[in-house]
Amino acid sequence: MAQPVLEFRDVVKRFGTVPAVDGVSFSIQPGEIFTLLGPSGCGKTTTLRLVAGLEEPDDGEILVNGTPLTAPRRGIFVAPDKRQMGMVFQSYAIWPHLTVFENVAFPLRVRGEPSSTLSRRVLQALETVGLAGLEGRGATELSGGQQQRVALARALVYAPAILLLDEPLSNLDAKLREQMRLEIRALQMKFKLTVLYVTHDQAEAMTLSDRMAVVHRGRFEQVGSPAEVYEQPATPFVAEFLGRTISFEGMIAKNHGGCWVDLGAGGARILLDGKKSGSFSGGEKVRLFTRPEDIEILPSAEVAANQVAAKIEQVAYLGDHIDYHVQAAGAFFVLSASKKQRFAVGADIRLKLDCERLTIRSV
């Protein structure tokens, strides 16, 4: 495996007695988009600011391309302007009194870039983000999307080792956010950029990431590809935070013929394969977790294995699909279905669970 562009080794950052980053270790490979996803206050932006040098850790080490940038125990701290990093803030941080050209040129002027190459690099960066010809405009003359591109151009203009993006799309409307996601991903792939991306938006994280970390109370609950984190959540927090989750309580039952979870609702039995049943002996209380899209709605009939009897409590017509508010095995939840499948309020139905996509945990 190639040397990581960025590496955290047991990094700790406290604000008073509160650990904002609590013994975090991870690495980012060259040309990878690594996303920190989590709720407000979980420590993801603090992690980004530690990389940029805008915060100093209390312990641990941060390395870029194998070189320590921060190591408190060894007295190492490289100043932010010496770190060869580009950063795009949530607010863009565009100077309203400067032209587009001067906004993008600013980091080069700070670094003493010769005027003979400065203009060429600025114009090249603006062309990269689709703003060629707008270099003479004032920043306040630009739309929100254009200001976002200026911030990107400014971050890219000096070829940073890593690009840091802190909630860069949160100030844009929904349609423009979707467009900018695609543009950022296309730009990253074209120039093989290494990116650390911070967001609370699950769609952004799923769309953009090669790998992602779900952050909770200063710790990384799980690191993996979007598919791995979504389909194989490592903790209850990950399962409940990422997407929607439906859970059922039941009890493990075993005999010579196999192992199953008895949901106690009309004799519903959810069969478990050897991998899922191996750690149980029988009689344990458990909770099953599944995603709404992994449940199939069937008309009322005799309940078979891996099926649960249910009742439609409410129906919400939403144009392109229908949401059914369902009661089943003591749980209440919402399932979406196409308009071709119609059930009335009060209808009895069956729910078929996909056993391969179930997560099971002891209560």
Which residues make Cβ contacts (< 8 Å) with residue 337, sequence separation at least 6? 297, 321, 322, 324
Residue 355 lies in a domain: yes
Residue 54 forms part of a structural domain: yes
Q: Do 252 and 225 share a structural domain?
A: no
Do residues 280 and 159 share a domain? no
The verdict on residue 143 lying in a domain is yes
Looking at the domain assignment, is residue 1 inside a domain? no
Is residue 97 in a domain?
yes
Same domain? For 214 and 347 the reply is no
If asked whether residues 223 and 348 sit together in one domain, one would say: no
Q: Count the domains in the chain.
A: 2
Domain limit, last residue, from 183, 211, 241: 241
Note the pLDDT tens digit of each residue in 74-110. 999 999 988 889 888 877 778 888 899 999 998 888 8
Please give the biggest Cα pair distance in the chain: 81
Domain stops at, among 214, 241, 268: 241
42 and 188 inside one domain: yes
The tens-digit pLDDT sequence of the chain (363 residues) is 689 999 999 999 999 999 999 999 999 999 999 999 999 999 999 999 999 999 999 999 999 999 999 999 999 999 998 888 988 887 777 888 889 999 999 888 888 888 888 999 999 889 888 889 888 899 878 888 888 889 888 888 888 889 999 988 887 788 888 888 888 898 899 889 999 999 999 999 999 999 999 999 999 999 999 999 998 888 889 988 998 889 999 999 888 778 889 998 666 888 887 677 667 888 899 999 899 999 999 999 988 989 999 999 999 999 989 999 999 998 999 999 998 889 999 999 999 999 888 888 888
Q: Do 294 and 158 share a domain, yes or no?
A: no
Tell which of 223, 241, 259 closes a domain.
241
Q: Residue 188 is part of a domain; what is its CATH number?
A: 3.40.50.300
pLDDT at 267: 66
Same domain, 191 and 256: no
| 214 and 319 fall within a common domain | no
Quickly tell me which residue has 């005999």 as its tokens. 255
Same domain for 307 and 166, yes or no, is no
pLDDT of residue 266: 66
Q: Is residue 10 part of a domain?
A: yes
Q: Fill in the amino acid letter for 312.
A: I
Q: Do residue 180 and residue 200 come from a single domain? A: yes
141 and 19 share a domain? yes
- The pTM of the full predicted model, rounded to 2 decimals, is 0.84
pLDDT digits (tens, 9 = 90+) for 30-72: 999 999 999 999 999 999 999 999 999 999 999 999 999 999 9
Domain that holds residue 277: 246-362
The answer to whether residues 327 and 193 belong to one domain is: no
- Inside any domain, residue 86: yes
Contact 175, 182 (CB under 8 A): no
Among the listed residues 52, 54, 53, 70, the one whose alpha carbon sits nearest the alpha carbon of residue 62: 70
Handedness of CA 57, 106, 163, 100 (dihedral sign): positive
> Does the residue 225 lie in any domain?
yes
Q: What is the CATH number of the domain that holds 298?
A: 2.40.50.140
Give pLDDT tens digits for 334-359. Answer: 999 998 889 999 999 999 999 888 88
